[in-house]
């Protein structure tokens, strides 16, 4: 029994054309027309593979292959939205390897006791609507449906209106559903597997993640006649915060990573002192205590930077996901499958958030990583070699057959 690597490569190529960038990457933000085209293609492929497709209130897509008994399914999935100028592998690969698993089960007429379900989650990236993993968060009961519906993109468009516009506002309730196991294959997005010359990562868990939003209000004024001594420049305070956020990781050390990735400046012209600046702060660490310490330092940093410049800072710590260990029996099944697939593998921790993190809050979950060339991701250079993908897909397939119990 094997997956069809050539068919999988063909599907990666075909889905990757929707929203492709000239430099070989992908821009397919959640709930855009390209997202709709990607979804339409996936739904067609899922139906062609014999899956019963349903859509829930958050636009999550599920395709079920019946089992021999009416017991909870083995669910496999990920997302097909991307970051701007991102890559063709983040998320897409997990969904396509899940589909390939179903196609391979069909090829070999395999029957399983548990149903096998392919899941595609809405707005995993958090690039267009914040926070990330929004729809699996609603499904896990960690984010209120109403809050998710009211999330707005940078142009003020509401998530629920965009869901409706692209035709993916489904009727199924977005609530926790029982599953035997949730499996997600994903690119590593870091350098560990490649540096060790390995093909598969057996993922033990995902780090804790905290997102904050800072709004700094200074005094907008003319860049010429305003003497330096009376300025209250929001961007000068923001610049101190950007450097300070980097310093928090340096000072606390260990595995802590800190990033300011988004900055908006108003009025953002050469000849006005910036009046308002907003910026995002992303901090991650396996240990909750370290994130608590980092947050305390961030509070102090913002206070000091704003005081020095005579501006006002409003800091909103609006999203946090705890450290998430995966279910031992699912991790063990992934490990057995990695061995059986002949992949060179090791255990690994995820530094990126995934829908599996929220799914782990409601049932047994686990993940499979494949290497990222140069450790690069969330960029157009993102790449994983087909040989590594084939080992990962085989691992997913074998783990799914194991957990769904072949009859």
Q: Is 160 helix (H, G, I), strand (E, B) or coil?
A: helix
184 binds, among ligand GLV, Mn ion, none (CB under 5 to 8 A by kind): none
How many CA atoms lie within 13 Å of 351's alpha carbon, on the beta-carbon side?
Answer: 17
91 binds, among Mn ion, ligand GLV, none (CB under 5 to 8 A by kind): Mn ion
Dihedral (C-alpha) 387, 87, 34, 11: value to the nearest 10 degrees? Answer: 0
Q: Distance between CA atoms of 345 and 358, rounded to whole angstroms?
A: 25
Least distance in Å: CB of 127 to Mn ion?
8
- The token pair that represents 89 in the structure block: 């592998």
Of 143, 40, 112, 123, the closest CA to residue 82 belongs to 123
Closer of 125 and 285 to Mn ion (Cβ): 125
Least distance in Å: CB of 83 to ligand GLV?
7
353 binds, among Mn ion, ligand GLV, none (CB under 5 to 8 A by kind): ligand GLV
Residues 6+ apart with CB under 8 A from 205: 286, 323, 324, 325, 326, 349, 350
Closer of 34 and 125 to Mn ion (Cβ): 125
Burial of 195 (0-12, 13-18, 19+ CB in 10 A): exposed
The DSSP line for 247-291 is: HHHHHH-TT-EEE---EEEES--TTEE--EEEEEEEEEES-HHHH
Closer of 64 and 90 to Mn ion (Cβ): 90
Q: Segment 300-329, which members bind Mn ion (CB under 5 A)?
A: none
Closer of 276 and 357 to Mn ion (Cβ): 357
Q: Are 110 and 59 in contact (CB under 8 A)?
A: no
Would you tell me which residues interact with ligand GLV (CB under 6 A)?
125, 132, 352-353
29 binds, among Mn ion, ligand GLV, none (CB under 5 to 8 A by kind): none
Q: Segment 88-107, which members bind Mn ion (CB under 5 A)?
A: 90-91
Least distance in Å: CB of 260 to ligand GLV?
14
Closer of 125 and 382 to ligand GLV (Cβ): 125
Q: Distance between CA atoms of 81 and 136, rounded to whole angstroms?
A: 13
- The token pair that represents 47 in the structure block: 């139906």
235 binds, among ligand GLV, Mn ion, none (CB under 5 to 8 A by kind): none
Q: Segment 72-91, which members bind Mn ion (CB under 5 A)?
A: 90-91
Give strand pairing partners of 369. Answer: 186, 201
Q: Distance between CA atoms of 41 and 126, rounded to whole angstroms?
A: 22
Least distance in Å: CB of 9 to ligand GLV?
24
Closer of 185 and 214 to Mn ion (Cβ): 185
Q: Is 203 helix (H, G, I), strand (E, B) or coil?
A: strand
Range in contact with Mn ion (rule: CB under 5 A) among 119-127, 220-228, 266-274, 284-292: 119-127
Q: Which residue has the tokens 């990607």?
A: 38
- The token pair that represents 50 in the structure block: 């014999």
Least distance in Å: CB of 117 to ligand GLV?
22
Least distance in Å: CB of 135 to Mn ion?
13
194 counts as binding Mn ion under rule CB under 5 A: no
Closer of 72 and 375 to ligand GLV (Cβ): 375
Residues forming contacts to Mn ion in the complex (CB under 5 A) are 90-91, 125
């Amino acid at each position: 029994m094997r997956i069809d690597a050539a068919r999988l490569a063909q599907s990666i190529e075909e889905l990757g054309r929707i929203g492709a960038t000239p430099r070989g990457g992908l821009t397919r933000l959640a709930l855009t027309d390209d997202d709709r085209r990607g979804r339409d293609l996936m739904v067609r492929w899922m139906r062609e593979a014999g899956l019963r497709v349903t859509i829930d209130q958050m636009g999550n897509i599920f395709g079920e292959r019946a089992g021999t008994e009416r017991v909870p399914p083995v669910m496999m999935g990920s997302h097909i939205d991307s970051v701007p100028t991102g890559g063709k592998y983040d998320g897409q690969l997990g969904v396509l390897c899940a589909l390939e698993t179903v196609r391979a089960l069909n090829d070999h007429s395999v029957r399983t006791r548990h149903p096998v379900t392919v899941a595609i989650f809405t707005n995993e990236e958090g690039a267009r609507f914040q926070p990330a993993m929004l729809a699996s968060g609603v499904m896990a009961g960690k984010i209120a449906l109403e809050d998710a519906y009211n999330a707005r993109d940078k142009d003020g468009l509401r998530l629920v209106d965009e869901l409706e516009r692209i035709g993916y506002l489904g009727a199924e309730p977005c609530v926790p559903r029982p599953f035997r196991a949730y499996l997600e294959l994903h690119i590593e997005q870091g350098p560990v597997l490649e540096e060790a010359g390995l093909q598969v990562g057996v993922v033990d868990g995902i780090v804790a993640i905290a997102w904050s939003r800072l709004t700094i209000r200074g005094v907008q004024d003319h860049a010429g006649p305003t003497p330096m001594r009376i300025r209250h420049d929001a961007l000068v305070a923001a610049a101190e915060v950007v450097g300070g956020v980097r310093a928090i990781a340096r000072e606390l050390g260990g595995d802590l990573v800190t990033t300011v990735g988004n900055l908006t400046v108003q009025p953002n012209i050469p000849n006005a002192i910036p009046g308002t600046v907003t910026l995002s702060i992303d901090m991650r660490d396996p240990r909750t205590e370290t994130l608590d310490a980092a947050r305390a330092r961030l509070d102090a940093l913002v206070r000091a930077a704003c005081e020095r410049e005579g501006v006002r800072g409003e800091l909103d710590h609006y999203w946090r996901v705890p450290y998430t260990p995966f279910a031992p029996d699912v991790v063990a099944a992934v490990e057995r499958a990695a061995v059986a697939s002949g992949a060179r593998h090791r255990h690994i921790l995820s530094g990126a958030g995934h829908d599996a993190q929220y799914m782990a809050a409601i049932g047994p979950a686990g993940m499979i990583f494949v290497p990222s060339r140069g450790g690069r991701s969330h960029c157009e250079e993102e790449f994983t070699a087909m040989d590594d993908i084939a080992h990962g897909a085989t691992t997913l397939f074998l783990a799914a057959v194991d957990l769904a119990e072949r009859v």
